[in-house]
């Protein structure tokens, strides 16, 4: 009897929506990335046709491609030749881009003229290098007076989870060499002569995704598993709720994957 009553109260099983392959991009945009209406790569980091943008550690070029689509000239730099080639193709395909250049480099030093760029992007690099202060000095050197900087690295809470779950190689060269606290990130930036204008965090979805990735035991190049798909679907359902964005932003603040500062060169 009780079982039948509970079944009636529960009603029919809900039909799950199909998994949107663009869900993670949607999550990113909701936090302030890739805002085409305002021309901002991220909140308070506008990019336009008057800018020269250097993306140091550009990876596959997602950030650089957005900047190119806003009409900025783009300088790409990365230590990985495969990633650099992919980034270059993506930037070259943007009709609005007035020009670009690519450099295969370890950033020590950067093959970019002093005082030549107005926007500097460096995400998920500083935790990899032997001497963060040397990297920051190079980033400061290439910026014009008034240049804006977007500097990001993993948040310590997320990295503490990885410390307990990830393969040992995760914290070995050439991967992450250090866990950086918010105060340390500020110090690297200000010691290079830059002024911090804003502090941000995001990526709760990815903080949990990586914990589940290690549990799933799948290879890096094929992260396919019911556990990961289930998490993506759960997050998508959350974002679809009327109060989903508020929950997302609270979790992004409390357990982010990434911490970031926007700074300016005086």
Quick one: which of 111, 164, 157 has its CA closest to 138? 111
Neighbours of 262 (CB within 10 A): 20
Q: Is residue 23 part of a domain?
A: yes
pLDDT in tens, 192-226: 999 999 999 999 999 999 999 999 999 998 999 99
Q: Judge contact between 162 and 210, C-beta under 8 A.
A: yes
Region at 233 (left for phi over 0; alpha for psi -120 to 50; beta for the rest):
alpha
| Domain ranges, residue 109 | 19-265
pTM for this prediction:
0.92
**How do beta strands 117-123 and 143-154 pair?**
parallel
**For the chain, how many structural domains are there in total?**
1
Task: Tell whether 97 is covered by a domain.
Answer: yes
Asked whether residue 5 is assigned to any structural domain, the reply reads no
Q: Domain of 135: which CATH number? A: 3.40.50.150
Q: DSSP E strands: which ranges in 92-240? A: 100-104, 117-123, 143-154, 194-202
Q: Print burial letters for 215-232: b (CB count within 10 Å at least 16), e (below 16).
A: ebeeeeeeeeeeebeebb
Span 4-13, pLDDT tens digits? 544 444 555 5
């Amino acid at each position: 009897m009780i079982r039948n009553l509970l079944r009636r109260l529960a009603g029919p099983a809900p039909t799950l929506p199909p998994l949107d392959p663009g869900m993670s991009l949607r999550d990113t945009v909701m936090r302030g990335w890739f805002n085409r209406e305002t021309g901002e790569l991220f909140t308070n980091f506008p990019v336009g046709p008057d800018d020269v943008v250097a993306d140091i550690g550009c990876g596959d070029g997602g950030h650089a491609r957005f900047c190119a689509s806003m009409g900025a000239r783009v300088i790409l730099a990365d230590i990985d030749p495969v990633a650099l080639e992919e980034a270059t193709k993506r930037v070259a395909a943007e009709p609005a881009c007035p020009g670009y250049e690519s450099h295969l480099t370890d950033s020590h030093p950067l093959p970019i003229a002093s005082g030549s760029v107005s926007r500097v992007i460096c995400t998920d690099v500083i935790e990899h290098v032997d001497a963060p202060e040397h990297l920051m000095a190079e980033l400061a050197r290439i910026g014009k007076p008034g240049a804006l900087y977007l500097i990001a690295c993993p948040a310590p809470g997320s990295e503490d989870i990885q410390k307990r779950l990830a393969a040992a190689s995760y914290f070995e060269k050439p991967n992450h060499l250090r866990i950086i606290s918010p105060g340390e990130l500020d110090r690297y930036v200000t010691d290079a002569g830059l002024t911090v204008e804003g502090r941000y965090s995001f990526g709760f979805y990815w903080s949990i995704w990586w914990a589940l990735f290690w549990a799933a035991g799948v290879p890096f190049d094929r992260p396919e598993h019911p556990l990961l798909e289930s998490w993506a679907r759960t997050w998508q359902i959350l974002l679809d709720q009327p109060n989903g964005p508020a929950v997302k932003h609270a979790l992004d603040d409390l357990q982010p994957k990434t911490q970031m500062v926007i700074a300016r060169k005086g």
